[in-house]
Structure 1
Amino acid sequence: MTQENLVVCTKCGVVNRLPPNRNSAEAQCGKCGARLFSGVPQDIDAANFDRQIGRGSLPVLVDVWAPWCGPCKMMAPAYEAAAKALEPHIRLVKLNSDKEQAVATRLGIRGIPTMILFHRQQEIARISGAMSTGQIVNWVRGHLPTGTS
């Protein structure tokens, strides 16, 4: 029996239950109506970050970036393309380290872009530096426990 997924809305932060027989790609938030998986990683604030990691059941890939960072800007299209390849099995979000300095400090961010992969409330992998779409997808799939992607 497949268990339902808990998916946190990137817009309003509400936890949504998705039954295994439901088409996750078309799912909408029960509170605000936003699509839960748009293929476009959303920038989230500290509260939404904590909810994504603490309440959602999907693996979460966080891209820590800043608006002034050249490599971050270069990687943005690749990260978006990776979201299209990995969703709805993995949540991809972005965290602006300038706006969310406390979270970046808590995560021990030393350089950007840095991607951190979380699963079951634990960090399972981290990498710094710009990557291509294929590199991102392969890196994520290579670090997930068997049966999660």
Structure 2
Amino acid sequence: MHYTCPSCAAINRIAEDQQHKQQAQCGRCKQPLFNGQPVELDDGSFQRFLQKNDMPVVVDFWASWCGPCKMMAPVFTQLCGQMQQQLRFAKVNTEQAQQTSAQLGIRSIPTLIVYHQGKEIDRLAGALPAPQLQQWLQAALSKIH
């Protein structure tokens, strides 16, 4: 399977059945591929990250002035640490990535979108507590498998 490095955006290939995926490092920069933190994406890195990861990707579209976004940020990071073997987690600041946000029709924030192989699988607008967000992510994953 292919994984995009969260540090340098290099494409890495790891065997799907590898038991030590948690300790996997980037072949280019030697940073962890799975560090328990969402990857910050912008207009330049968004499509590459979606299309070059064989794993489903959940993206949180947010803005610094948004109260619900600030409330949801630690929940999103918490679930990233718990579910990083099932999903890649990424964040897009809609103030900085205006082109991507406009192309995707992001009208309210936070908005979460789950992608698989570059295609949108599910979308959710609004903040959720961790248990409900995890349920939503599991439901989105079930649409893939």
Give the TM-score of the pair, scaled to structure 1. Answer: 0.91
Say if 2:4 is the partner of 1:8. Answer: yes
The CA distance in 2 between the partners of 1:44 and 1:114, in whole Å, is 15
Among 72, 76, 80, which residue is 1:83 paired with? Answer: 80
Match of 1:144 in 2: 141
Say if 2:37 is the partner of 1:18. Answer: no
Match of 1:116 in 2: 113
The CA distance in 2 between the partners of 1:109 and 1:49, in whole Å, is 14
Does the Cα contact within 8 Å between 1:114 and 1:126 map onto a contact in 2?
A: yes
Q: Report the aligned-residue RMSD.
A: 1.4
Amino acid at match of 2:45: N
Say if 2:68 is the partner of 1:56. Answer: no
Amino acid at match of 1:71: P
Say if 2:28 is the partner of 1:31. Answer: yes
Match of 2:64 in 1: 67
Q: Please, which runs of 5 or more residues in structure 2 have no aligned partner?
A: none
Q: Please, which runs of 5 or more residues in structure 1 have no aligned partner?
A: none
Does the Cα contact within 8 Å between 1:117 and 1:124 map onto a contact in 2?
A: yes
Amino acid at match of 2:5: C
Partner SS for 1:76: helix
Does the Cα contact within 8 Å between 1:82 and 1:134 map onto a contact in 2?
A: no
Percent identical residues: 37
Does the Cα contact within 8 Å between 1:6 and 1:55 map onto a contact in 2?
A: yes
Count of equivalent residues:
144
> Hey, which bits of structure 1, 4+ residues long, moved more than 6 A?
none
Amino acid at match of 2:20: N
